[in-house]
């Protein structure tokens, strides 16, 4: 140990190793009983892998409102970690480090969550034990982490329910509510690269944890320094429950209620050719049988239909990227399909490629998909008499601040309200809990068990009716039985939108142009600057701080007319609720463009969101020629805006 300590001291003196990395290495060695830890650290140091060491140890992976997320396989894999090897060629053991996803950080997460729940359970004077539900996706170590967390929860005095195999994040959200659980967690890193994994926590309402519980759980987790704990006496330990078909069936029954016009869908199901791919993830468990249940015969991508945490057929398992949908697109071209839909590994996001009127295949943006859903569902609810002139003020569309304003225009034109939230569906969940609690207590007993028409009637009479919600990053929902974005639900809903367009003889791009012509042409451009590792983290922090300290006054030749700093200002939404503080700046320009900049909460990047629009004169509709002119002008203005912002970011970083 003294030799290792000396090597670390020398590396710090020579500027090769961060002092924080040195401290975390020595602390890890002093408290770990795992021989893999000591062996891996020894290999890292003897091999002088200082950059890798800093990335793994410069900080302790912090538990935040999104839980934990980080690398579970290092850039450089040590022989001790590789061991005998695991499934699909992965290492036998996860990456050693305080800043990596491994059993050390998994133990911290479950210890802190269980400790908070036990205290909360006692304060609420509830009988029995807290129940935690655990699900996992198809990533490397996901099953091991989930089984570990479930076992640890029972050892700490909680009951635990564990799905028998991979399940989606939205099904975890549903299961928490369906089982009346106290909390839940899903082991996933969503659409991140194969080397990542994470732990995402949910509370009793089925939504990701928000205040007042978030800060309490975060403090518990981040206060734990060791992965070792003393189990409660055997008689006080919880029981382990296996979950499977019963929850699947209940979830699918609810998903079917998302269809607004079953006759339309059945009538077009044989005319509409759909290609679906889960990109090696959990979407194959529920989404495929749901499409069949609705009468569709989806074409599949055989190479992507099996669980595989390597995601070997794509550069990134992110359905917003055209590369991830290439194999599905090839099937669509070969089979003459109308539509490609794809979900990410934990099936909370959905991407779409549609056949355009000219026969080409077009990748839709998350903003366009969400807007078509909002437009179709709004007009259909009115056509069916569910929304009326008398109750329309109770209808609400929820979107994030960085999602297209077209959805706000749809809401305003229909007389609905539009609520904007920070990025993250936990804020949608928070709103849905608020709307649920606005229903008189005696009417919302067993609310989660009530059929959808019953809850809809209660919301329309006493509270707010959630028409739909979405975020630009390919997440959508339109119900409150799942309190998160839902890829399976999105597939169900968008299949109906496509069926509706088909019934009118329209391709989806024509239906979208119909929306643009009546509401205005809205365009968005998303971009980001990536900075990996410890050095990259410092750059992101410095760049974000520069926008807060020195906001621009003129951008791409246009004067700044307003700037909202969400970290410094008190900002309230349209319902008067206070927006939590977040590092995000939204800048509005005199020419009608606006942009937002914020560090990503889950990836090593700083994100930019650019917005432009051109509306027809009041009461008018764009002609095809006017719409094309608006499209070209707005799209070009966003390109020049990004060129300016990228150059400005480089100037700010020096």
**Catalytic residue selected from 107, 142, 182, 190:** 190
**What CA–CA distance (Å, rounded) separates 543 from 526?**
18
Which positions ≥6 away from 34 have C-beta within 8 Å? none
Can you spell out the DSSP letters for 463-486?
Answer: S-EEEEEEETTTEEE--SSS-S--
**What CA–CA distance (Å, rounded) separates 531 from 130?**
41
Given a contact cutoff of 8 angstroms between Cβ atoms, the answer to whether 584 and 422 are in contact is yes
Angle between helices 169-178 and 487-503 (to 10 degrees): 110
- CB neighbours of residue 122 within 10 Å: 10
Of the candidates 99, 92, 94, 279, the residue with the CA atom closest to the CA atom of residue 195: 94
**What CA–CA distance (Å, rounded) separates 586 from 601?**
17
Strands (E), 167-303: 183-187, 196-203, 240-243, 274-277, 299-300
554-555 sheet: strands from edge to edge: 521-530, 605-614, 594-599, 585-589, 558-565, 554-555
**Within 504-623, where are the H helices?**
508-519, 533-549
Of the candidates 540, 537, 556, the residue with the CA atom closest to the CA atom of residue 548: 540
DSSP state of 204: T
**What CA–CA distance (Å, rounded) separates 354 from 604?**
31
**What CA–CA distance (Å, rounded) separates 353 from 371?**
15
In this structure, is the dihedral angle defined by the CA atoms of residues 277, 279, 284 and 290, taken in order, positive or negative? negative
Given a contact cutoff of 8 angstroms between Cβ atoms, the answer to whether 177 and 206 are in contact is yes
Strands 475-477 and 465-471 come out as: antiparallel
- Three-class secondary structure of residue 203 per DSSP: strand
**What CA–CA distance (Å, rounded) separates 32 from 580?**
37
**What CA–CA distance (Å, rounded) separates 425 from 471?**
8
- Three-class secondary structure of residue 44 per DSSP: helix
Given a contact cutoff of 8 angstroms between Cβ atoms, the answer to whether 491 and 499 are in contact is no
Strands (E), 538-604: 554-555, 558-565, 585-589, 594-599
Rounded to the nearest 5 degrees, what angle is found at the Cα of 489, between the Cα atoms of 466 and 336? 130
First-to-last alpha carbon distance for the chain, in angstroms, is: 41
Alpha-carbon radius of gyration of the chain: 25
- Three-class secondary structure of residue 558 per DSSP: strand
190 catalytically annotated: yes
As given in the structure block, the two tokens for residue 389 are 């002139």
Across-strand partners of 634?
none
Catalytic residue numbers read 190
């Amino acid at each position: 140990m003294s030799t290792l300590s000396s090597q670390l001291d020398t590396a710090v003196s020579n500027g090769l190793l961060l002092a924080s990395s040195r401290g975390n290495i020595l602390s890890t060695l002093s408290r770990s009983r795992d021989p893999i830890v000591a062996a891996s650290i020894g290999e890292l140091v003897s091999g002088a892998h200082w950059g890798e060491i800093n990335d793994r140890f410069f900080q302790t992976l912090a538990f935040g409102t999104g839980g934990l997320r980080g690398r579970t396989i290092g850039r450089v894999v040590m022989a001790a970690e590789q061991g005998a090897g695991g499934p699909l060629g992965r290492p036998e053991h996860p990456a050693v480090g305080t800043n990596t996803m491994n059993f050390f950080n998994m133990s911290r997460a479950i210890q802190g969550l269980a400790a908070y729940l036990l205290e909360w359970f006692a304060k609420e004077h509830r009988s029995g034990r807290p129940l935690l539900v655990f699900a996992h996706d198809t990533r490397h170590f996901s099953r091991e982490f989930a089984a570990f967390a479930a076992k640890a929860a029972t050892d700490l005095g909680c009951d635990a329910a564990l799905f028998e195999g991979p399940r989606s994040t939205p099904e975890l959200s549903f299961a928490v509510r369906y089982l009346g659980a106290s909390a839940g967690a899903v082991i996933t890193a969503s659409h991140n690269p194969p080397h990542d994994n994470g732990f995402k926590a949910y509370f009793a309402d089925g939504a990701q944890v928000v205040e007042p519980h978030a800060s309490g759980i975060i403090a518990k987790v981040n206060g734990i320094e060791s992965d070792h704990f003393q189990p409660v006496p055997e008689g006080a330990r919880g029981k382990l429950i296996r979950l499977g078909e019963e929850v699947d069936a209940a979830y699918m029954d609810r998903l079917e209620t998302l269809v607004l016009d079953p006759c339309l869908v059945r009538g077009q199901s044989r005319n509409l050719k759909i290609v679906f791919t889960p990109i090696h993830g959990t979407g194959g468990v529920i989404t495929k049988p749901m499409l069949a249940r609705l009468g569709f015969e989806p074409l599949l991508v055989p190479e992507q239909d099996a669980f595989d945490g390597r995601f070997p057929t794509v550069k990134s398992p992110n359905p917003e990227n055209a590369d991830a949908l290439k194999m599905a697109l090839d099937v669509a071209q070969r089979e003459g399909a109308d539509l490609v839909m794809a979900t990410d590994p934990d099936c909370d996001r959905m991407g779409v490629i549609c056949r355009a009127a000219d026969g080409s295949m077009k990748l839709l943006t998350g903003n366009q998909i969400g807007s078509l859903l909002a437009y179709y569902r709004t007009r259909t609810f009115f056509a069916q008499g569910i929304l009326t002139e008398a109750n329309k003020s109770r209808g609400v569309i929820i979107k994030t601040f960085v999602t297209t304003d077209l959805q706000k225009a749809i809401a305003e034109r229909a007389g609905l309200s539009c609520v904007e939230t920070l990025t993250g569906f936990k804020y949608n969940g928070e709103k849905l809990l608020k709307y649920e609690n606005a229903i008189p207590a005696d009417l919302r007993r067993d609310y989660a068990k009530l059929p959808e028409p019953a809850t809809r009637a209660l919301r329309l009479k006493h509270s707010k009716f959630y028409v739909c919600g979405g975020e630009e990053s390919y997440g959508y929902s339109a119900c409150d039985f799942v309190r998160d974005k839902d890829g399976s639900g999105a597939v169900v809903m968008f299949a109906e939108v496509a069926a509706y367009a088909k019934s009118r003889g329209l391709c989806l791009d024509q239906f979208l142009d119909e929306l643009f012509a009546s509401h205005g042409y809205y365009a968005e451009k998303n971009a980001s600057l990536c900075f990996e590792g410890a050095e990259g983290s410092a750059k992101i922090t410095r760049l974000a701080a520069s926008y807060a300290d020195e906001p621009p006054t003129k951008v791409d030749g246009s004067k700044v007319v307003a700037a909202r700093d969400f970290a410094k200002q008190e900002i309230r939404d349209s319902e008067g609720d206070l927006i939590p503080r977040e590092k995000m700046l939204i800048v509005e320009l005199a020419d009608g463009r606006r942009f937002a900049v914020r560090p990503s909460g889950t990836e090593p990047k700083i994100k930019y969101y650019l917005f432009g629009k051109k509306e027809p004169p009041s009461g008018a509709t764009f002609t095809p020629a006017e719409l094309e002119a608006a499209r070209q002008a707005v799209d070009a203005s966003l390109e020049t805006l990004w060129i300016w912002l990228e150059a400005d970011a480089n100037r700010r970083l020096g």
